Amino acid sequence: EMQLVQSGGALVQPGGSLRLSCEGSGFTFRSYWMHWVRQAPGKGLVWVSRINSDGSDTAYADSVKGRFTISRDNAENTLYLQMNSLRAEDTGLYYCARATEVVPNDMWGQGTMVAVSS
Amino acid sequence: DIQMTQSPSTLSASVGDRVTITCRASQNINSYLAWYQQKPGKAPHLLIYRTSSLETGVPSRFIGSGFGTEFTLTISSLQPDDFATYYCQHYHRHFQTFGQGTKLEIK
């Protein structure tokens, strides 16, 4: 079965750090670009970051640039999001998704919750 | 930055109705437009990409159209399973921007 399984969400204090993981299985993980998308409670979807298939090219939303780092380990079929200097407004459900140039986000992880609060 | 604006924000309809959701881009995005369905507590699900291409397994009652700055998602005959929130998304060269969502409710 093709799937993305996420982990790493937690309650963290403002200014803290967290690393999210997203493990792919049942498909050729290294062939896909990967994205992180977040959703604040009761709100819409917001694109956060993306990485190309070999990990050499990354991009970030302005709201997280300089604080978040996306990376991947194709040998382990795993995508990461290192989140530093966390703020209350970073609170939400974080999804990973795979994409190609032609078909965007055709598979999503189940989501992992990040809560930033003192 | 390109902004995506959906209308309406909420839509009330009945089973069997034909409904249309509109998505407008702040500048020309050619045909790089996708639609997603999201149900409460679930991840989004891709319905349509490249404006009108149906994702595998998606029923043919979902119809996408448009070009440039104005796009629509039409559901030709609403089924009980279709009541959910719908998002449009501009994607190009692996950058993505979502609309704010349209909640489709049972009348």
Q: Which of A22, A46, A47 to mutate to test the interface with B (most CBs of B within 10 A)?
A: A47
Q: A33 touching B, CB under 8 A?
A: yes
- Tens of pLDDT, residues B68-92: 999 999 999 999 999 999 999 999 8
Residue A74, token pair as written in the block = 């194709």
Longest dimension (CA), chain B: 39
Q: Are A10 and A19 in contact (CB under 8 A)?
A: no
Q: Please check the confidence at residue A42 and state whether its pLDDT lies above 90.
A: yes
Check CB contact under 8 Å for B101 and A44.
yes
Contacts of A102 in chain B (CB under 8 A): 49-50
d(CA B44, CA A96): 11
- Tens of pLDDT, residues B44-68: 999 999 999 999 999 999 999 999 9
Residue B54, token pair as written in the block = 């149906």
Name A90's bridge partners: none
Check CB contact under 8 Å for A105 and B97.
no
b/e map of A35-46 (b: 16 or more CB within 10 Å)? bbbbbeeeeebb
pLDDT number for residue B95: 87
Q: Please check the confidence at residue B28 and state whether its pLDDT lies above 90.
A: yes
Q: What is residue B55's DSSP assignment?
A: P
The letter for the amino acid at B59 is P
d(CA A77, CA B12): 42
Q: Which of A48, A54, A105, A113 to mutate to test the interface with B (most CBs of B within 10 A)?
A: A105
Q: Please check the confidence at residue B37 and state whether its pLDDT lies above 90.
A: yes
Residue B68, token pair as written in the block = 């440039």
Report percent pLDDT > 70 for chain A.
100
